[in-house]
Amino acid sequence: MQPTAQSPTRLIPLALAAALVALSFVSSPRPAATGPVAVALQSASSSDRAKLASIYGALADVISRDQGQLITTTAAWRSIYADALRLAAGGTDLPKKYPGLDVAVDKVLSEHYSLDNLPIDKDMAVKIAAGMTAVERQCE
């Protein structure tokens, strides 16, 4: 049996496919977030940013999964949100470490949902989660 010689041009599709697969594992970095929370956290360490991003990411996940089943009003959500922040940041220096952060977070959240006491349905849950995700993104 004689080995067959392969034409180099026959290998081009294979090389292209391998390159495309390799490129799919390389993600381009997201541009730095801007906004009031990002400004308030300009001097924050990467560790503090990660902690805050994690808190807001978890809150977005909670409200997204609940969709008004257990958390039925925005008043109830605000109470849970406040308690979660106290539990997550209590005993740390985070609450007073970044002046203006609380106002910046409220500004971002108010762009997504009202401070009025409203029922939470799927649409409202999406709005609240989007607000939490926007804060999370600005913490990165």
Give, for all 140 residues of the chain, the pLDDT tens digit. 555 555 666 667 666 666 667 666 665 565 667 899 999 999 999 999 999 999 999 999 999 999 999 999 999 999 999 999 999 988 888 888 999 999 999 999 999 999 899 999 999 999 999 999 999 999 99
| Alpha carbon distance 106, 136 (integer Å) | 13
* pTM, rounded to two decimals: 0.76
